[in-house]
Amino acid sequence: MKRDNLRFLLIGTLGSLLLQLLAGQFGILGMLLSFLVPVPLAYVAMRRGLLIGCGSALLACGGMQMLGGLSAMLAFATQFALPAMIVAGLLRRGVPWDRVLLYGTLGLVSLASVALLIYSQQSGVSLPSLVDQYLQGEVTSALKLADQGNLNAEQAESFRSAIQQMGTFLKGTFPAWVALVTAVMLGLQVVFLGRLARGGYRIPGAPLSGWKAPEMLIWPLILAGFGVLLGDGAVRLVALNGLVLLLPIYFLQGLAVVSFFFGRKEIPSFMRGFGYLLIAVLNPLPIIVTGIGVFDMWADFRKPRQKKSDR
């Protein structure tokens, strides 16, 4: 038993540290890898309990302090170790996975908001100014890619214009994007924990193919859509934030419909994975799948259809 615990401690610690180190080396791919950093820690907590999971998280935090100092350790603890323990702790208590995403996102965003508010008061810099400084730094880094890439003058100018417009959009919808990115990171943990379970534990809640968003959410979505089309100023800004939060929920419901038909047609697992990847990255598939999720509220694509009997 002690050997098993030690083995899992090392798996969680070394796995998360390795992913974190790799994430810093591969640019955009590294950003995607960073979403997986909490997975080894959450896996250990699911397999061996929260005590061993917390021990692995503490060891990983200690490793980050040795590698990058106190600031790196604090960033690792809040961005990766804490979310991993929240996800594993809620799942082990039998909370359905969709509520884990909801509760985890609300808790982490609330904690981050309080931390930012305290930092703002101590530093004398307002919250909007902190957000502006962060986004401007990201825009500047992105603009450097135009100078370093093999782009002609026209392409470089188009790239710069697109980045500036994206920066303006993110500035207005920053709260919603923070919540969305947090939910995506927690969701990826649930997905990978499900793939790694192999009978060692269970993920509570409905399978993806049977999942549906609460019906009441369709009305805020409709109101947000009208707010973006017809509103102005603060009304339009609130509506944009609402769409950023609500449309991914219906994208997930569209994925659930796709998953249902994958299962119905007995599509092999590797082909399903490839299909999900295409849906995520190949335009206009994300828009189409989101539309399927929205209209599933009325069409109920997964409802059993009665075949007409021959007369």
Least confident interval from 96-105, 192-201, 243-252: 192-201
Q: What is the pLDDT of residue 310?
A: 47
pLDDT grade for 138, boundaries at 50, 70 and 90 = confident
Q: What is the pLDDT of residue 307?
A: 59
Q: What is the pLDDT of residue 270?
A: 86
Q: What is the pLDDT of residue 120?
A: 86
User: For 22-38, how does the pLDDT look when each residue is reduced to its tens digit (9 = 90+)?
Assistant: 887 776 677 788 899 99
Least confident interval from 97-111, 128-142, 241-255: 128-142
Rounded Cα distance, 39 and 96, in Å: 18
Rounded Cα distance, 277 and 280, in Å: 5
The whole-number average pLDDT for the span 76-87 is 95
| pLDDT over 70, % of the chain | 93
User: For 188-202, how does the pLDDT look when each residue is reduced to its tens digit (9 = 90+)?
Assistant: 999 999 999 988 899
Letter for the amino acid at 36? Answer: L
The pTM for the full model equals 0.88
Contacts of 186 (CB under 8 A, 6+ apart): 83, 86, 87, 100, 101, 104, 105
Contacts of 291 (CB under 8 A, 6+ apart): 254
Q: Which domains does the chain have, with CATH numbers?
A: 1-124+175-203 (1.10.1760), 206-302 (no CATH)
The whole-number average pLDDT for the span 68-78 is 90
The whole-number average pLDDT for the span 40-60 is 95
What's the gap between Cα 297 and its chain centre?
24
Q: In degrees to the nearest 10, what's the CA dihedral of 285, 272, 42, 103?
A: 40
The yes-or-no verdict on residue 226 having pLDDT over 90 is: yes
The yes-or-no verdict on residue 247 having pLDDT over 50 is: yes
Contacts of 216 (CB under 8 A, 6+ apart): none
Contact by Cβ (8 Å): 84, 53: yes
The whole-number average pLDDT for the span 59-68 is 92
Mean per-residue pLDDT over the chain, rounded = 88
Q: What is the pLDDT of residue 13?
A: 94
The yes-or-no verdict on residue 159 having pLDDT over 60 is: yes
Encoded tokens for 180: 């969305």
User: For 142-153, how does the pLDDT look when each residue is reduced to its tens digit (9 = 90+)?
Assistant: 777 666 656 667
The whole-number average pLDDT for the span 244-269 is 93
Task: Give me the DSSP letters along the chain.
Answer: -HHHHHHHHHHHHHHHHHHHHHHTTSHHHHHHHHTTTTHHHHHHHHHH-HHHHHHHHHHHHHHHHHHH-HHHHHHHIIIIIHHHHHHHHHHHTT--HHHHHHHHHHHHHHHHHHHHHHHHHHHT--HHHHHHHHHHHHHHHHHHHHHHS---HHHHHHHHHHHHHHHHHHHHTHHHHHHHHHHHHHHHHHHHHHHH-TTS----S--GGG----GGGHHHHHHHHHHHHH--THHHHHHHHHHHHHHHHHHHHHHHHHHHHHHHTT--HHHHHHHHHHHHHSTTHHHHHHHHHHHHHHH-TTSPPPPPPP-
The yes-or-no verdict on residue 118 having pLDDT over 70 is: yes
The whole-number average pLDDT for the span 54-69 is 93
How many beta carbons lie within 10 A of that of residue 181, not counting itself?
13
Rounded Cα distance, 86 and 103, in Å: 9
